[in-house]
A and B are shown apart, each in its own frame.
Chain A
């Protein structure tokens, strides 16, 4: 009877310790997983941030390219050479009031 009681107490103690250790290990794993995730996301953010910087620089370059393409000198040359255009003479202008 006494042995049975001792066995039951030992089992309870073991169970409690097992639960405590399991919780601690679970916490350790969850914490580690979180840290790993955090670091991985940190790298992702850094990559996205780099991409953003590159795309901003590209946008700026394209804007400048657009300005170059729209320069009056280029437009004037195209109008003159490819479309044979010229500024209108005064008699060609009709005023609409």
Chain B
């Protein structure tokens, strides 16, 4: 009986065991199948889902490239600056957070609290803070407060070459100057920065993760390329300093100056006064941002006479010694009467003397002799009425009507620089052609483009545009320009101690809104190169509306030319001219005198 009972019990126990075993076996099989299903069938979708949880991506702009001068001195660079933002929903105690943040930021507690109370998912608390402020804010370790790196453009030399370099906006896009013209080169790629984060949002690196993610970052962005300009920071400074002094001294409206290497067309300095601060460009009038040397045409006045003289000599119809009767200072053409400046009443002058004394009537007589077509063709050869092709934005072509439309008075006026509009870059490029034995070079401001690690991507070499005049003509015009700065010439104030220099003065009347020439508003200019017989620089200085201590080019602009030339040649280690000819009239201190 007992045996039957025991067997029955054992049977029941075995059944229960089998039942439980089957249950666990089924459970195990289910788990295995589920695991297999998740690991094999759903692997890719689940991996993606997981990656989204521990990968974080931020949109970034690559760093904007650096702009260097010709000696690799930085003219513009990009700083990485921290901006502080917040995810308001993640902040539990907004009042305390605002109070603590107000202790380190410049914003008040109430302003920060208002921002933190925003219903938006993300708000900026303070953008582009200093490294110290960023560090102090980080030490608060507040939940929901984030620190984002942004780029900010910085110009170490502040206003230096501001109109040439231009500036970039908050989004890192070039808006003016070289920054605008070469925006595609300078601007970094717009990309994504991906990194891994843990449950607490801390960044970490995992060797098992995507191999593209190295050191915790997956970089998909490219920094911008760098630009090397032809500008020399020191020559730019010398020019800006002298220009500012001149404009202030003569209480002028504005001024501009450009220095170029005649043999290559490289622009060494390109200066405007008043300048503007590119860090705060919004505080300045938009007209101040413009690179007027390239964009603005103006009537050049008597500086144009050297090109009329070049036309006369190149045509073979005149030599520097050909004489012209200058009508004792008053010459009637139709209903118009032309006068010589400064109430001069010249009679017979050679072409050489016409340039030296800047006789309007004399140059009109020269042009009457050679004809308007010869003058027009020569001016076209010198590049007037066309863009020079300089790599700066918004270049003007100037205005030069076709010779067929010129009346007699137009031909006369154009011969001495009225009725024609040119840009400063056209004038200096044409003068550089005379300095370069008659060969015109294309002006340029960018020497090379280099990559992020300094490798050369593209270099720009000097480009010959054309031969404008023969070498003999160029030499003759140079001699005439030398005579301008000699005793008795209009530009004697430009003569520089120790160097032969040459040039031409210009005093152009400005046009009133009614279309007539103003009697009290002038542009005083001086255009030349130095040393005269082995030129290293061609220079134009133009002062707009000088009102004090004279208004003639010879009084206002010529002394500025002298200062810039002297300091620049000294800086370039150009050996002074020491031949005996210097005694014949170029020793500045002996010969300088008041001139118009």
List residues of A whose CB falls within 8 A of some B CB.
38-39, 41-43, 45-46, 49-50, 57-58, 60-61, 63-64, 67-68, 70-73, 76, 87-90, 93, 95
Contacts of A70 in B (CB 8 A): 73
User: Is A64 a contact partner of B156 (Cβ separation < 8 A)?
Assistant: yes
Interface residues of B in 72-94 (CB under 8 A from A): 73-74, 77, 79-80
Known: A39-B204, A61-B131, A64-B156. A72 touches B233 (CB 8 A): yes
Q: Mark B477-493, 1 if CB is under 8 A from A, else 0.
A: 00000000000000000
User: Is A87 a contact partner of B567 (Cβ separation < 8 A)?
Assistant: yes
Is residue B215 contacting chain A, with contact meaning CB distance below 8 A? Answer: yes
Contacts of B595 in A (CB 8 A): none
A96 CA to B336 CA, complexed, in Å: 59
User: Is B203 a contact partner of A46 (Cβ separation < 8 A)?
Assistant: yes
Of the A-B pairs whose beta carbons lie under 8 Å apart in the complex, a sample of 7, sorted by A's number, is: A42-B196, A42-B206, A45-B216, A50-B203, A63-B77, A88-B570, A90-B498
Which applies to chain A's interface (DSSP): helix, strand, loop or mixed?
Answer: helix
Is residue B377 contacting chain A, with contact meaning CB distance below 8 A? Answer: no
User: Is B79 a contact partner of A90 (Cβ separation < 8 A)?
Assistant: no
Is residue B296 contacting chain A, with contact meaning CB distance below 8 A? Answer: no
Q: Which residue of chain B has the shortest Cβ distance to A35 in the bound complex?
A: B208
Q: Which of A42, A67, A76, A95 contacts B205 (CB 8 A)?
A: A42
User: Is B205 a contact partner of A68 (Cβ separation < 8 A)?
Assistant: no
Q: Which of B149, B154, B202, B575 contacts A64 (CB 8 A)?
A: B154
Q: Which residue of chain B has the shortest Cβ distance to A91 in the bound complex?
A: B497
For the complex with contacts A64-B79, A67-B74, 15 further pairs of A-B residues with Cβ separation under 8 Å are A39-B204, A42-B207, A43-B204, A46-B204, A46-B216, A49-B216, A64-B77, A64-B154, A68-B157, A71-B160, A72-B237, A72-B238, A73-B237, A73-B241, A95-B575
Distance of B589 from chain A, by nearest CB (Å): 9
Distance of A51 from chain B, by nearest CB (Å): 12
Q: Which residue of chain A has the shortest Cβ distance to B206 in the bound complex?
A: A42
Contacts of A95 in B (CB 8 A): 575-576
Q: Which residue of chain B has the shortest Cβ distance to A69 in the bound complex?
A: B156
Is residue B281 contacting chain A, with contact meaning CB distance below 8 A? Answer: no
Q: Which of B204, B234, B238 contacts A42 (CB 8 A)?
A: B204
Contacts of B241 in A (CB 8 A): 73, 76
Contacts of B234 in A (CB 8 A): 72
Q: Which of B80, B196, B205 contacts A57 (CB 8 A)?
A: B80
Contacts of B576 in A (CB 8 A): 90, 93, 95
Q: Give the most central of B196, B203, B204, B217: most A CB within 10 Å.
A: B204
A68 CA to B74 CA, complexed, in Å: 9
Contacts of A68 in B (CB 8 A): 156-157
Contacts of B196 in A (CB 8 A): 42
Distance of B503 from chain A, by nearest CB (Å): 19
Distance of B379 from chain A, by nearest CB (Å): 37
Distance of A21 from chain B, by nearest CB (Å): 19
Is residue B566 contacting chain A, with contact meaning CB distance below 8 A? Answer: yes
A5 CA to B576 CA, complexed, in Å: 117
